[in-house]
Amino acid sequence: MACSTMAALWVYTVVLLALEAGGGACLRDVTLSVHPPAVERGQQARLVCNYDLENTKLYSVKYYRGQREFFRFFASEKPQTKVFAIGKVPINVDLSRSNATQVVLTNVDHALAGNVTCEVTVEPFRMLIAGAILTVVELPRSPPKLWVHQDRYELGDQLLANCSAPPAVPPAQLSFQINNVTMPTAMDTAYHFTADREMWSALSLSMRLDHRHFQNGRLTLQCTAKLPAGFAVKSEPQELGVRPSEPVPERVTSSSGWRARALLLLVILAPCIRR
């Protein structure tokens, strides 16, 4: 989805501005990281801005969401911290845990998701900026639902199944597992809007069953809804397997038995042969 694609393209640490006065000591190695990498809606996020002052004096650290500043740390002011509103985006900062190297956000909302940056300024004047992505996810309200065409399947049957997951942010990607092994599907996950403009996910599976899909006669089917950063919700597993029928071995006759019958036949036919 767009969120994961943006994250793949945006995760970086880049110098946007570097204005340096004379002298050997200087600010360097500014990085911004988000913990956890993806935040569940309503939970907390910690933005950590690391830097190397190299014997310079810290002047300020500012945090932005997009182009809008929402938190500032001033080393020489009292109080040292200040929070700024950014329009209708709800900002909840835990000031008791926010300082020169981190800002702690609580009750994080979807509206806060996106590009975040920290801007570090030292004396003599030098400013470096680092950026990252704040990803906010909302898990489905319930596990995925799994439907199958029939209750039991045997070797050679065509397995038909459908899976759907309630709305999530970003919409969940679905996959099927047989005996805990993910199965390839002909189509990708499809997404559909509800009347409230929420997006739910759906995926279908159609495949011919062979020996690989049975483990001691068992075939357990499950559907998984995945979101960024390892968030996953699984459906209830369904046991669909019966022991696959095996070919009945042909009747085996020992060589000694064959000789005994041949000898008996020879004895019966002996009078006819003498005539």
Say which CATH number the domain at 99 has. Answer: 2.60.40.10
In a domain, 269, yes or no: no
Look at the pTM and tell me if it is higher than 0.75: no
In a domain, 34, yes or no: yes
What tens-digit pLDDT sequence spans the chain (275 residues)?
444 444 433 443 333 443 343 445 688 889 999 999 999 999 999 999 999 988 889 999 999 999 999 999 999 999 999 999 998 888 999 999 999 999 999 999 999 999 999 999 998 888 999 999 999 999 999 999 999 999 999 999 999 999 999 999 999 999 999 999 999 998 999 999 988 788 999 999 999 999 999 998 899 999 999 998 889 999 999 999 865 455 534 444 444 444 444 433 343 344 444 44
Same domain, yes or no: 107 and 149? no
Same domain, yes or no: 149 and 221? yes
The dihedrals phi and psi of 112, each to the nearest 5 degrees, come to -85, -10
Nearest C-alpha neighbor of 51 from the set 27, 70, 72, 69: 27
Q: Which domain holds residue 168?
A: 145-242
CB atoms near residue 13 (< 10 Å): 15
In a domain, 82, yes or no: yes
- Count of structural domains within the chain: 2
In a domain, 267, yes or no: no
